[in-house]
Structure formats: structure tokens, C-alpha cells
Amino acid sequence: MELQTVWFLLITILFTGFFILEGFDYGVGILLPFLGKSDKERRMIINAIGPFWDGNEVWIITAGGAIFAAFPEWYATLFSGFYLALALMLFALIIRGVGFEFRSNEVKPLWRKTWDWLIFTGSLIPALLWGVAMANLLKGLPIDENFTFVGTFWDLLNPYSLISGLAFLSLFILHGAIFLSLKVEGDVSDRAISTAKRLWGPALVWVLVAGGIGLFGTDMVDRLGILSGIFPLVAGLGILAAGWNIGKRQFGSAFIGTVIGIAFSTITLFRGLFPRVMVSSLDPDWSLTITNASSSDYTLKVMTIVALIFVPLVLLYQSWSYWTFRKRIREDTPLEY
């Protein structure tokens, strides 16, 4: 396999991992003001993702770094093209990140309530924007022969990208609700369960609609054949399985269901892209591909060696972190955030 393909795969894995892990963080952040009826409950909710959220966020920072190192043209066009969207995302990530740390450092109810809603907003915006951004990569954007994005912010908003945004958003909230049902005890868990019960249906619909438009509204079926429909279908089946297991109160299995849903939604997008990385709507020849956007072979070789050594290590200690904090947050669990 060519190194460009290896790096495309690795970046796909980084995005998939990011959406699976940060997906429930976003969902939990969005659900925070609704599922936590008292301050204690809200703290329990934040503490449920407390040890993980920052490590989860590094997945996207690494994905960004990997794109920069392996496909600098992709990095340049993507980040400059999505300028305002990314600025908005950064504003959201900034207030959300400090929100977790700062919220419980002051007892005034107004202080805590303000941070709760900032955490909500800071989780909602990126959850929605990631869907919008990813769909636009596949749908195509006005990119000229110099790989420069020549459109405006409004080009990013179209039915397909907005529906994909809603699909990501609803999927992440569902994912977060199931996560909370597993990680918190008591009333919060019950409320999370009833939220998940109401949410899995809409999430399924949005993911299937987004997947359908992805298949037939872009060139995906033309290029890859109708069998490429298997990816969004598996995503849908994952969500269906999640709904089924929520009904049976098998929340561990339900969580695996949303993991599959998120993973295959992401895979749908990246499979549709490959071997392109950003599609030009102006001229197919101006699309960025793993070849014309790539770094030199030497850089890719160096980076492959680095990745081979350190990715397994990261997976190892992140798994250890999840293992260490596998227990549920209970009424009497010491709360740090």
C-alpha cells in the first residue's frame, strides 16, 4: 500500500476515534442543563466525562496535525476555506474547555448556571459544525486550480451539509445519553435513559437521510456503485440496535450500537472521498487528492515510523484511563469538577 493511502487511512481512524470519543463528550455537554436538575446532579454529569474529555479532544488535534504533516495542501485549503466555521468552532471549544475546569470553582448559582449554558453552547456548535464540514468535503466546494477556496461561508450551508450536521448532532446526543446511563447512578441515569428512548428514532432518520443524500446527491454511487450504500446502512443498523437494546435495558450493547453508528457514518464520508480529500465543485481536476495534496515520500516515511511507535502507546494509556475510571459516578463519589 502506498504511504499516501496509509495516511488517508490513519486520518480516517483518527476522525472516527475522535467522533466516537468526543461524540459522547459533546452529547453530555449538550444534555447537561436538561438532565441535571440540581447542582449536585450537574456536577455528577460533568464528572462522568471529567477524566476523559481533554484526552478525547486531542484526537482531533492529532488529526489536524496528521493532515498538516501528510497532506499540507489539504490542511491549507481546508482550514483557510472553512475559516469562519473553524473560528466559530474555536470560540466554542475555548469556552467549553475552560467551562469544565472553571464551573465548580465558584459557588454562586449564577456563575455555575452561566458556565452550564456555555458548556452547552460550546458542545452544541462543534457537534453540528463537524457534520456540516465533513459533508462539504464530499459534496464539493468552489476550489480553484490553485487549490484555493473561492466561495464564502454561505457555501458551507446547503441542505446536505445541514442534514449531516443534524445527523451528527442527534447521534452525538444519543451517544452521550447512553454514556450517561452507563456512567452515572440515580435520577440522572433514568432521565438519560428516557432521553435515549426518545432520541434514537430521530437520530436514525437523520443519519439515513444524510447517508441517502450522500450516496445519491454526490457522486458516491456513480463512482463506487450501489454497494457503497452498505456503509450508511450499517450505521443505521447500529443505531437501530442501539434503540433495540435501550428497550431491553442493555445499555452496554446500546453504546456499542452508537459506536457503530458513528464509526460507519464517518467511514461513509471518507470512503466517498477516497482517493480525493476535498472535492472541487468547479472542476473535478481541481479536487485535492491524496496524491496532489501529499507531502514528500521522505516525510511520509518518517511520520509513518513515528506513528507506528506512538499510536499503540497512546491507545494503551488511554485505555488504562478508561479502565481506571470504569466505575459509575454515585451520590457519594468525590467530585473534582
Residues 125-164 within binding reach of another protein (CB under 8 A)? 146-150
Q: How far apart are CA 221 and CA 217, in angstroms?
A: 9
Whole-angstrom CA distances from 322 to 21, 251, 293 are 11, 17, 36
Binder among 68, 121, 155, 158 for another protein (CB under 8 A): 68
State in angstroms the smallest separation of the CB of 74 from another protein. Answer: 9
Any contact of residue 274 with another protein (CB under 8 A)? no
Smallest gap, in angstroms, from Cβ of residue 326 to another protein? 10
Give the helix/strand (H/E) hosting 190.
helix 187-217
Residue number, 189 or 268, with CB nearest to another protein: 189
Cell (9 digits) for 245: 437494546
When asked if residue 62 is in the footprint of another protein (CB under 8 A), the reply is yes
* Residue 81 interacts with another protein (CB under 8 A): yes or no: yes
Is 2 one of the binding residues for another protein (CB under 8 A)? no
Candidate list 2, 9, 34, 94; residue touching another protein; CB under 8 A = 94
Distances (CA, A) of 214 to 87, 109, 193, 240: 26, 45, 30, 20
Binding to another protein by residue 64, rule CB under 8 A?
yes
Span from 131-139, 202-210, 259-267, 313-321 in contact with another protein (CB under 8 A): 313-321
Chain centroid offset of residue 54 CA: 14
Residues 6+ apart with CB under 8 A from 230: none
Q: Which residues contact 42 (CB under 8 A, 6 or more apart)?
A: 32, 33, 36, 112, 116
Measured CA to CA, the distance from residue 275 to residue 188 in angstroms comes to 44
CB-nearer residue toward another protein: 27 or 122 = 122
Given 2, 190, 283, 336, the residue binding another protein (CB under 8 A): 336
CA distance 139 to 161: 8
Q: Shortest Cβ distance from residue 144 to another protein (Å)?
A: 9
Q: How far apart are CA 158 and CA 139, in angstroms?
A: 10
- Using rule CB under 8 A, residue 69 touches another protein: yes
Site string for another protein, 29-58 (x = CB under 8 A): --------xxxx-xx---x--xxxxxx-xx
Among 248, 285, 296, 332, binds another protein (CB under 8 A): 296
Q: What is the rounded distance in angstroms from the CA atom of residue 313 to the CA atom of residue 323?
A: 15
The Cα 295–Cα 291 span in angstroms is: 9
- Listed in sequence order, the residues at least 6 apart from 69 whose beta carbon sits closer than 8 Å to its beta carbon are 295, 299, 303
Q: Which contiguous run of DSSP H or E holds residue 304?
A: helix 297-324
- Nearest to another protein of 190, 297 (CB atom): 297
- 328 scored as a contact of another protein (CB under 8 A): no
Nearer to another protein (CB atom), residue 75 or residue 286: 75
Question: What residues numbered 159-198 form the site for another protein, per CB under 8 A?
Answer: none
Which one, 52 or 172, has the nearer CB to another protein? Answer: 52
